[in-house]
Amino acid sequence: MAGGIGSRFWPMSRTDFPKQFLDILNTGRTLIQATYDRFALFIPRENIYVVTAEQYRDIVSSQLNEILPENILCEPSRKNTAPCIAYISYKLMQKNPEANLICAPADHIILDQDGFKDTCLSAINFTLNIKGLVTLGIKPTHANTGYGYIQYDQQPVSNNVFKVKTFTEKPDKDLARTFLLSGDFLWNAGIFVWQVKNIIQAFEKFLPEMHDVFDAEKDAFNSNGEKEAIDRIYPQCTNISIDYGVMEKADNVFIIPSSFGWSDLGTWASAYDNLEKDYLENAAAGDNIMIIDATKNMIHADNKKLVLIQGLDDFIVVDTKDVLLICRKDKEQEIKEYVAEVKRNKGDRFL
């Protein structure tokens, strides 16, 4: 899934070139390239699909020249994750009613590739035997308020697979601490595994209107009429996430507690967590950043530009060709609101 605009990574992430196409951590690979690499370890290239916005088709094609052109699926509008997952599910259902599907965002960091592979294969094996919807949960390391939390039964139904009890979206600090201490909550990684026939049945039960518009056009998938069908379908779809639309309502949802070095890389603070720090705990992404009497800052700048920081503590500093952002780290969840404020005051020029 690669259609988002990554507004919390502004000003580096822009509407015309969002974060999934950027090398946020200076690794030499963009986030979507790293995601492709991760799946290519155990999925044949002809079975890897990207669902993105029409305006990003050329970017995806240029960054992932290994992927088949027909496997780049373009949405005519952004309608959150439920329509996106319905699109690929119906397409695969027409190809193979017994198909398995792993849905994953294109902008996550996963450090333990083998651990990720083993967890995904374990999830697929589970869904072959039990009619269930599986999500991967991350063992929390701190009371993060930027993630959703999933509570699960402590008695496994299979090897390291547990029944889900509740979903909670982005709790406040006190509730997040309670979840952390309880030991029966995991972070919601937004990575799902199921058989397509089972997720389509879930759409039919919990999002019947969306199911009906996709079902009415199903014969057009994998044909020359697919784009026209999608153009008819999307205006009729509700803007809703798969979590709200299906996962929180279904009674056959299971979770696999996982620890494969995951970060959703949703904010600059998460980038800070994944970058090397100097002895004063500053994280710098850029070749010419100088830091004097400053601590615990996240600084990102173009390699050709000299940026000198003095006296700042716990700040995010992001310098691009036309925008300079200086923001306290504890306000990083509000960057999305600042972007909206920029739009109101300055239009789309800096977005």
Same-domain status, 134 and 183: yes
Same-domain status, 147 and 24: yes
Same-domain status, 53 and 76: yes
Structure tokens at 170: 């982005």
**Strand spans (E) along the chain:** 50-53, 72-75, 100-103, 109-110, 133-138, 149-152, 162-168, 185-195, 253-258, 262-263, 283-285, 289-292, 298-301, 307-310, 315-319, 324-328
Do residues 51 and 4 make contact, with C-beta atoms less than 8 angstroms apart? Answer: no
Pick the last residue of a domain from 243, 263, 283. Answer: 263
d(CA 348, CA 351): 5
d(CA 71, CA 52): 11
d(CA 288, CA 305): 6
- At residue 293, the pLDDT reads 96
- At residue 25, the pLDDT reads 84
Same-domain status, 14 and 148: yes
Say what percent of the chain tops pLDDT 90.
Answer: 75
SS3 331: helix
Q: What is the pLDDT of residues 98-139, one digit of tens each?
A: 999 999 999 999 999 999 999 999 999 999 988 999 999 998
d(CA 307, CA 320): 11
Same-domain status, 87 and 176: yes
Q: What is the pLDDT of residues 215-251, one digit of tens each?
A: 999 999 999 999 999 999 999 999 999 999 999 999 9
Q: Say which residues have a Cβ less than 8 Å from residue 107's Cβ, sequence separation at least 6.
A: 2, 4, 6, 19, 20, 31, 32, 35, 264, 265, 266
Cβ burial, residue 345 (10 Å; 0-12/13-18/19+): exposed
d(CA 209, CA 43): 32
* Number of domains composing the chain: 2
Distances (CA, A) of 17 to 8, 106, 186, 266, 311: 14, 14, 32, 16, 32
Same-domain status, 253 and 279: no
Cβ burial, residue 218 (10 Å; 0-12/13-18/19+): middle
Residue 101 lies in a domain: yes
Distances (CA, A) of 244 to 34, 139, 168, 169, 198: 28, 22, 10, 10, 17
Same-domain status, 256 and 294: no
Looking at the predicted structure, is the pLDDT value of residue 205 above 90? yes
Q: What is the CATH number of the domain that holds 14?
A: 3.90.550.10
Same-domain status, 322 and 184: no
| 186 — pLDDT class (breaks 50, 70, 90) | very high
Q: Say which residues have a Cβ less than 8 Å from residue 329's Cβ, sequence separation at least 6.
A: 268, 269, 272, 296, 297, 298, 314, 315, 316
- At residue 28, the pLDDT reads 87
Residue 2 lies in a domain: no
Q: Which domain holds residue 77?
A: 7-263
Same-domain status, 338 and 206: no
| 146 — pLDDT class (breaks 50, 70, 90) | confident
| 7 — pLDDT class (breaks 50, 70, 90) | confident
- What is the dihedral sign for C-alpha 193, 221, 3, 110? positive
Residue 204 lies in a domain: yes
- At residue 313, the pLDDT reads 97
Nearest CA to 266 out of 167, 188, 185 is that of 188
Same-domain status, 226 and 294: no
Pick the last residue of a domain from 209, 237, 263. Answer: 263
